[in-house]
Amino acid sequence: MENYNKSANIALDMYLNYIKDRLHDLDMNMKTLSEKTDIPYTTLYDNFKKKNKISLLNFFKICGALDINPYLVPKEMDENDKDYIHFN
How many angstroms separate the CA atoms of 87 and 25, rounded? Answer: 29
Q: Where in the chain are the domains?
A: 5-85
Q: CB under 8 Å to 47, separation ≥6 — which residues?
A: 16, 53, 54, 58
- Confidence band (pLDDT; 50, 70, 90) for 87? very low
Q: Provide the CATH topology of domain 5-85.
A: 434 Repressor (Amino-terminal Domain) (1.10.260)
**For the segment 5-37, what is each residue's pLDDT rounded down to a tens digit?**
888 888 899 899 999 999 999 999 999 999 999
Q: What is the mean pLDDT of residues 34-61?
A: 95
Share above pLDDT 90 across residues of the chain, in percent, rounded to a whole number: 60
Task: Count Cα atoms within 13 angstroms, Cβ side, for 53.
Answer: 5
CB 22 within 8 A of CB 66: yes
Task: Please tell me the predicted confidence (pLDDT) of residue 70.
Answer: 79
